[in-house]
Amino acid sequence: MSDLRDIAFIEDLNLQGKRVFIRLDLNVPIKDGTITNETRIQGALPTIRYAMDQKAKITLASHLGRPKSPEDKQFSLEPVAKRLSELLGVEVLLFEDLMGDGLKGMASNLSDDQILLLENTRFAKGETKNSQELASHLATAFDVYINDAFGAIHRAHATVDALPRLIPQRGMGYLIQKELKTLDKLLHQADKPFAAILGGIKVSDKIAVIENLMERVDTFVIGGAMAYTFLAAQDIATGSSLIERDKINMAKELLERFRVRNKTLVLPKDHVVAKELTKNAPNETTPTAAIPEEWMGLDIGPKTTAAINEALGPAKTIFWNGPMGAFETPPFEKGTFEVAKTLSQSSAFKVVGGGDSVTAVANAGLTDSMDHISTGGGASLEYLEGKKLPGIEALRTDG
Which one of the listed residues 82, 341, 355, 387 is annotated catalytic? 355
Q: Which of residues 186-245 bind ligand ADP (CB under 6 A)?
A: 199-201, 205, 224-225, 242
User: One of 40, 83, 170, 178 is an active-site residue; which one?
Assistant: 40
What is the pairing mode between strands 219-222 and 169-172? unpaired
CB of 107 to ligand ADP, least distance (A): 36
Give which of Mg ion, ligand ADP, none residue 268 binds (C-beta under 5 to 8 Å, depending on kind): none
Of residues 138 and 225, the one with the C-beta less far from ligand ADP:
225
Q: 31: helix, coil or strand?
A: strand
Residue 202 annotated in active site:
yes
Stretch that binds ligand ADP, among 54-62, 99-107, 151-159, 349-357 (CB under 6 A): 349-357
Of 125, 143, 141, the closest CA to residue 133 belongs to 125
> Does the active-site annotation cover 40?
yes
- Looking at the DSSP assignment, which residues form a beta bridge with residue 372? 351
CB atoms near residue 364 (< 10 Å) = 19
Cis? peptide before 46, omega within 30° of 0: no
Instruction: Spell out the residues 6+ positions from residue 392 whose beta carbon is closer than 8 angstroms to its own.
Output: 7, 153, 180
Residue 391 as a binder of ligand ADP (CB under 6 A): the answer is no
CB of 378 to Mg ion, least distance (A): 9
Q: Is 325 a catalytic site residue?
A: no
Q: Does 143 bind ligand ADP (CB under 6 A)?
A: no
CB 234 within 8 A of CB 207: no
**Minimum distance, C-beta of residue 201 to ligand ADP, in the bound complex (Å):** 4
Residue 340 CB partners (closer than 8 Å, separation 6+): 360, 361, 364, 366
Q: Does 355 participate in catalysis according to the annotation?
A: yes
Q: Which residues between 289 and 308 bind ligand ADP (CB under 6 A)? A: 297-298
**Residue 328 lies near ligand ADP (rule: CB under 6 A):** yes
Return the residue of 164, 173, 377, 390 that touches ligand ADP, per CB under 6 A: 377
Residues 131-166 as b/e (b if ≥16 CB within 10 A, e otherwise) read: beebbebbbebbbbbbbbbbbbbbbbbbbbbbbbbb
Which residues, 6 or more positions from 180, have their beta carbon under 8 angstroms from its beta carbon? 4, 172, 383, 392
Residue 69 DSSP one-character state: S
Burial of 252 (0-12, 13-18, 19+ CB in 10 A): middle
Give min distance, CB of 297 to ligand ADP, in A: 5
CB-wise, 79 or 355, nearer to Mg ion? 355
Point out which span in 84-92, 168-176, 313-321, 354-362 binds Mg ion (CB under 5 A): 354-362
Contact, 36 vs 30, CB < 8 A? Answer: yes
Q: How many residues bind Mg ion (CB under 5 A)?
A: 2
Chosen residue from 355, 362, 367, 387 binding ligand ADP by CB under 6 A: 355
Query: Which residue's Cβ has the minimum distance to ligand ADP?
Result: 200
- Minimum CB distance to ligand ADP smaller for 59 or for 375: 375
Please identify, among the stretches 19-27, 72-80, 323-331, 353-361, the one whose residues bind Mg ion according to the rule CB under 5 A: 353-361
What lies within 8 Å, CB to CB, of 237 at 6+ separation is 290, 291, 292, 293
Give least dist CB 122 to ligand ADP, A. 22
Active site residues: 40, 202, 355, 378
Interacting residues toward Mg ion by CB under 5 A: 355-356
